[in-house]
Amino acid sequence: MTTITLENLAQSYLKSPSKADEDWALKETNFTFRHGGAYALLGPSGCGKTTLLNIISGLVVPTRGRLKFGDRDVTHASTVSRNISQVFQFPVVYDTMTVGENLAFPLRNRGVAADKIKQRVGQIAELLDLTAVLDKKARNLTPDARQKISLGRGLVRSDVSAILFDEPLTVIDPALKWELRSTLKAVHRELDVTMVYVTHDQTEALTFADTVVVMSDGRVLQSGNAEELYERPAHTFVGNFIGSPGMNFVPAKVSGRSADIAGTAIALPHTYAAMSDAVELGVRPNYARLAEAGSGIPARLIRIEDLGRMRLARVRIADRTLSVTVPDGMTPESETAGVIFDTPRINVYSGGRLVAPDGA
Ligand SMILES: Nc1ncnc2c1ncn2[C@@H]1O[C@H](COP(=O)(O)OP(=O)(O)OP(=O)(O)O)[C@@H](O)[C@H]1O
């Protein structure tokens, strides 16, 4: 069992970093990856995903804090002794070897018996649809096939503590991506190994992982499954980043169980204590709908976008632009409209953070 624990872990690439936030690529982080979990590190470019992955693999020694695999402190342990597999964004393939030899390489290195190697290589080749090219030299294969070999080499050992993936599907054709994501999930189920997958693509993260760790600006903002991140984003950044379009946020004054949005009172699903920082209500576009003028919160309709599966209206309320669902059959002719929030789905944020209701 290998639980990976980050204890007060922080990374600066500067020689003598100050305490200032901007000096730290990874701010002090405490987190546990449980044994056998499928995790995605998700966040925009530069948020520290690769830094965190490289600390786990040993390519980077953290400036502060400790990294543990189970009870073992591996903060300064060599990459080899950590017993992990890694798959990078661009294929790492030996051109002069055949596909089969490439897949067998990590096992040969470890002195695995020939019959075991044959069996495991066959299994992985089957999963990745490489059986037909097992005897071909890697050199002449397409970029997709080469990255599949790279994935296969990452997956071939069944005795690793963890498998780390850094944007492994970037060079893969979009149609194949779906297939490979389900392949990775299947391998995850079969291997009972911890997988950590770095990506900036929310679809990739949400389909691969059972726990998505959302990062921004060197911090872990929230970790959870797709439903938690969608329904109860812990931070306005997470609400915005997850979903397309992201969650709507509108300034409000909250008092007990009701909120005032630009002079209109609406009900909240719970009661809230007084909050000192700026308060916003967060509502997903599919839990907010356009209504005729005179009902709901007064809004100005800017335009309607037909997305095929649904129509979305862009509206202005309290100096913010919101995306709300247009009910079937509704064809607004005036820019004066109303918006109705689905009360149970309203979240309350103060200073950018989700506020727990009274008694929660
Ligand atoms: N070797 C390095 N030396 C100096 N700064 C670095 C180094 N590696 C990363 N950084 C900086 O640390 C911050 C986090 O980078 P990191 O690569 O971890 O982010 P990321 O989320 O993986 O982004 P991307 O998806 O673009 O790779 C960035 O500001 C980056 O410029």
pLDDT digits (tens, 9 = 90+) for 145-204: 999 999 999 999 988 989 999 999 888 888 888 888 888 888 888 888 999 999 999 999
Q: Where in the chain is the domain with CATH 2.40.50.140?
A: 248-354
pLDDT at 360 over 80: no
Q: How far apart are CA 269 and CA 47, in angstroms?
A: 34
Nearest CA to ligand 1 atom 16: 48
pLDDT at 1 over 70: no
Give the strands of the sheet with 38-42, arranged side by side: 84-87, 162-166, 194-199, 38-42, 211-216, 219-224
Task: Using alpha carbons, select from 83, 28, 35 the residue that is nearest to residue 57.
Answer: 83
For residue 182, the model assigns a pLDDT of: 83
CB atoms inside a 10 Å sphere around CB 212:
25
Q: In Å, what is the CA distance from 289 to each residue of 38, 301, 302, 326?
A: 35, 12, 14, 6
Between residues 137 and 178, the one the model is more confident about: 137
Output the CA 289–ligand 1 centroid distance in Å.
Answer: 40
Question: Mean pLDDT lowest for which of 104-108, 138-142, 231-235?
Answer: 138-142
Q: How many residues in the chain?
A: 360
Mean pLDDT of 297-310: 94
User: Into which CATH architecture does domain 248-354 fall?
Assistant: Beta Barrel (2.40)
For residue 262, the model assigns a pLDDT of: 94
Q: Is 25 in the pocket of ligand 1 (CB under 6 A)?
A: yes
Question: Mean pLDDT lowest for which of 51-65, 164-178, 214-228, 303-317?
Answer: 164-178
* 96, 29 Cβ separation under 8 angstroms: no
Query: Which ranges constitute the DSSP H helices of 156-249?
Result: 174-191, 202-208, 226-231, 236-241
For residue 186, the model assigns a pLDDT of: 84
Mutation probe of ligand 1 site: the residue of 11, 12, 13 with most atoms within 8 A of C-beta = 13
Burial 90-121 (b: 16+ CB within 10 A, else e): ebebeeebbbbbbbbbbbeeeebeeeebeebb
Query: Which atom of ligand 1 lies nearest, measured to the CA of 47?
Result: 21
Mean pLDDT of 198-215: 94
For residue 190, the model assigns a pLDDT of: 82
Mean pLDDT of the chain: 94
User: Into which CATH architecture does domain 4-241 fall?
Assistant: 3-Layer(aba) Sandwich (3.40)
Mean pLDDT of 310-324: 96
- Reported as a pLDDT band with limits 50, 70 and 90, residue 319 is very high
Mean pLDDT of 234-261: 96
pLDDT at 339 over 70: yes
Query: Which atom of ligand 1 lies nearest, measured to the CA of 44?
Result: 21
Q: Please state the pTM of the whole predicted model.
A: 0.93
- Reported as a pLDDT band with limits 50, 70 and 90, residue 92 is confident
Mean pLDDT of 7-12: 98
Output the CA 70–ligand 1 centroid distance in Å.
Answer: 27
pLDDT at 343 over 70: yes
Nearest CA to ligand 1 atom 11: 25
Q: How far apart are CA 84 and CA 319, in angstroms?
A: 50
Q: How far apart are CA 93 and CA 315, in angstroms?
A: 51
pLDDT at 296 over 90: yes
Residue 119 contacts by C-beta under 8 Å, 6 or more apart in sequence? none
Q: Is 265 in the pocket of ligand 1 (CB under 6 A)?
A: no
Between residues 301 and 159, the one the model is more confident about: 301
